């Protein structure tokens, strides 16, 4: 009975768009207690998603459009559906936590070639606007997906997870918070040493070693947390992914705070590079 009511209610989900179904799907599945019910709900979601995607028609020839096509077969550019996910727009079949940035750039450039203003100089004002809207949407998708933190946040939002209000200070993760305090103290020590530096071969060597050890330590800490985050995303463990993302952002902030002083230590002749 409960599943039947939920299925009926889901008929209204077209208003939310395709990628928003992910979060609601998790809500439904968490309340379905039998395997056959879960299968029915999965089939319903797949069917509903398909109908949402394929319900677009060309404004010019009324032909049914496929997926996230920016153009109809008649050659006319089509309106952007802002419910499309950024991954779909750039040709990915599903959200990808790990992306080849060069491949992403190629996908963006190939899409933008089709929408170049020169190709629409002789078109109607409506078509020129559609092309500009599509180009802007592609740029927005590219800007988000090329940056790891924004990409991870976006994937979590696609699955109904809010990334705005998680505060690790209230999470009880005392071990991690202790690590944060320890690294911040070490960064502060290095910054003070740079500010109060008195030149000698011994002191320059010692300071260089301290900076290098700290950079290597924080970089490895950041890399380990990112691997955990990616693993949680791939396993669809969204709650743990959200916590890991917050941890990753904390570590990244410490890394960036240290990076702010790279120019200062380079002026002292210390050639330690901050890379991630």
Find the CATH number of the domain harbouring 219: 1.20.1280
Q: Is residue 275 classed exposed, middle or buried when 0-12, 13-18 and 19+ CB atoms within 10 A define those classes?
A: exposed
Q: Are residues 205 and 256 in the same domain?
A: yes
Instruction: Please indicate, yes or no, if residue 273 is contained in any of the structural domains.
Output: no
273: helix, coil or strand?
Answer: coil
Q: Final residue of a domain: which of 147, 164, 181? A: 164
Condensed to tens digits (0 to 9), the pLDDT of residues 136-194 reads: 999 999 999 999 999 999 999 999 998 876 767 666 688 999 999 999 999 999 999 99
Q: Are residues 227 and 200 in the same domain?
A: yes
71: helix, coil or strand?
Answer: strand
Domain that holds residue 238: 168-267
Instruction: Using the predicted structure, report yes or no on whether residue 18 has a pLDDT greater than 50.
Output: no
Task: Please give the model's pTM, rounded to 2 decimal places.
Answer: 0.77
Q: Are residues 217 and 137 in the same domain?
A: no
Q: Are residues 226 and 207 in the same domain?
A: yes
Runs of H (alpha helix) within the chain: 2-9, 21-29, 35-54, 86-89, 101-114, 125-145, 148-158, 174-195, 201-234, 238-259, 262-267
Instruction: Using the predicted structure, report yes or no on whether residue 35 has a pLDDT greater than 70.
Output: no
């Amino acid at each position: 009975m409960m599943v039947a009511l939920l299925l009926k209610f889901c008929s209204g989900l077209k208003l939310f768009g395709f990628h928003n179904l992910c979060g609601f799907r998790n809500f439904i599945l968490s309340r379905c207690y039998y395997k056959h019910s879960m299968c029915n709900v999965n089939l319903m979601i797949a069917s509903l998603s398909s109908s949402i995607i394929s319900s677009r028609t060309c404004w010019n020839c009324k032909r049914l459009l496929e997926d996230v096509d920016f153009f109809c077969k008649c050659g006319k550019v089509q309106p952007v559906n802002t419910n499309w996910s950024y991954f779909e727009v750039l040709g990915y079949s599903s959200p990808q936590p790990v992306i080849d940035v060069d491949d992403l750039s190629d996908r963006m450039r190939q899409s933008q070639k089709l929408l170049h203003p020169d190709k629409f100089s002789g078109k109607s004002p409506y078509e020129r606007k559609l092309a500009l809207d599509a180009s802007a949407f592609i740029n927005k998708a590219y800007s988000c997906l090329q940056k790891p933190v924004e990409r991870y946040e976006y994937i979590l939002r696609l699955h109904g997870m809010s990334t705005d209000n998680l505060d690790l200070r209230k999470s009880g993760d005392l071990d991690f918070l202790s690590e944060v305090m320890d690294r911040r103290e070490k960064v502060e020590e290095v910054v003070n040493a740079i500010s109060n530096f008195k030149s000698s071969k011994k002191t320059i060597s010692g300071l260089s070693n301290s900076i290098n050890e700290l950079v290597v330590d924080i970089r490895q800490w950041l890399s380990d947390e990112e691997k955990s985050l990616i693993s949680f995303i791939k396993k669809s463990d969204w709650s743990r992914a959200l916590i890991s993302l917050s941890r990753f952002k904390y570590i990244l902030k410490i890394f960036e705070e240290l990076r702010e002083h790279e120019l200062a230590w380079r002026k002292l002749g210390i050639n330690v590079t901050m890379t991630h």
